[in-house]
Structure 1
Amino acid sequence: MDQLITFVQNHPGLFVALAVVVVLLVANEIHGNLAGGKRLTALEAVRFINDRDPVIIDLRNAADFKRGHLLNAVNAPFAKFDEYVGQFRDKTRPVLLYCALGTMGSSVAEKLRKQGYAEVYPLRGGINAWLMNSLPVTVK
């Protein structure tokens, strides 16, 4: 404990920077949960897909989608999402959203909820989290 106090006294700038980063990370998580509702981890998403048969929407661009995506996913790029939303008519069916890093899913989830979709869940960490858990993707 004495070493920590000495470090803080000798390096106040680093300690303040660490505190700011921690506060921003916590604020980001809180904002994501408030704005985008519950976000599923990759392993929760596997169970969700197996149990609930959701509509799976890939928010990445078409080139990234062709390189690999979740099985049965529909590509609806984030930049043009409003053009694609009409494809998803059944508002009672659950929806799983994902992008590359998990940053865009919350805003699209909020938009879909406002349009009356009952259950919308972004994938925390996006397809990168999916791949880091060694889960399969397809190119078909």
Structure 2
Amino acid sequence: MLYKQLLRTLYRNTVPTVPAAALAQELAAPAPPLLLDVRTPAEYRVSHLRGAQFVPFDSIATAPFAGLDRSQPVVVYCSVGVRSERLGERLHALGFRNVRNLYGGLFEWVNEGHPVVDSTGPTTNVHPYSPFWSPWLKRGRKVYE
């Protein structure tokens, strides 16, 4: 409950959100959305959603996102959903029509028991971003790289 209150204060509500459970169902469908992970390289290396493409947060203001279908469903995420909301805003400005933000980010995804992977396969490791944010990660093994 406190996590949801925190997110209400942090989100600008400029990008529609998708709950973790709904995204898990969509990822099991024949035509899943494109996943864009907008964290740091270290966070992504520790773990990410299977099939997610890495987008460095520092590059979102200038990246053209060339070659991506503007009509394809896209779900953006970061640790809690704030950085990904910024990416969602940028994608909307570039003409993407179906962009959603994973509500609660990777933390909510893992807290609800959904799987993450690293370069070798399934893992329980999760980068908690910082000591300030780590208390919101209730499941998984906290790993700072």
Q: Which residue pairs with 2:58 in the alignment?
A: 79
TM-score normalised by the chain length of structure 1: 0.71
- Bigger drift between 45-54 and 73-82 goes to 45-54
Residues 60 and 95 (structure 1), Cα distance of their counterparts in 2 relative to 1, 3 Å cut: same
Deviation of 1:82 after TM superposition, in Å, equals 3.8
Is the partner of 1:104 in helix, strand or coil?
helix
Deviations 1:12-36 (A, max 9, x none): xxxxxxxxxxxx869648841xx11
2:24 maps to 1:46: yes
Residues 87 and 139 (structure 1), Cα distance of their counterparts in 2 relative to 1, 3 Å cut: farther
| Higher share in helix | 1
1:25-40 equivalent positions in 2, closer than 5 A? 28=9, 31-32=12-13, 35-36=14-15, 38-40=16-18
Residues 87 and 28 (structure 1), Cα distance of their counterparts in 2 relative to 1, 3 Å cut: same
Residues 71 and 84 (structure 1), Cα distance of their counterparts in 2 relative to 1, 3 Å cut: farther
2:83 maps to 1:96: no
Q: Which residue pairs with 1:110 in the alignment?
A: 89
Residues 67 and 25 (structure 1), Cα distance of their counterparts in 2 relative to 1, 3 Å cut: closer
Q: Determine what percentage of the aligned residue pairs are the same residue.
A: 24
In 2, the alpha carbon distance for the partners of 1:30 and 1:99 equals: 13
Structure of higher CA gyration radius: 1
TM-score normalised by the chain length of structure 2: 0.69
Q: Identify unmatched segments of 5+ residues in structure 2.
A: 120-145
Runs of 4+ in structure 1 displaced over 4 angstroms?
24-27
| Higher share in strand | 2
Q: Which amino acid aligns with 2:111?
A: M
In 2, the alpha carbon distance for the partners of 1:81 and 1:30 equals: 18
Q: CA RMSD in A?
A: 2.4
Q: How many residue pairs end up in the alignment?
A: 115
Is the partner of 2:86 in helix, strand or coil?
helix
1:53-72 equivalent positions in 2, closer than 5 A? 53-72=32-51
Deviation of 1:50 after TM superposition, in Å, equals 2.5
Q: Which amino acid aligns with 1:119?
A: N
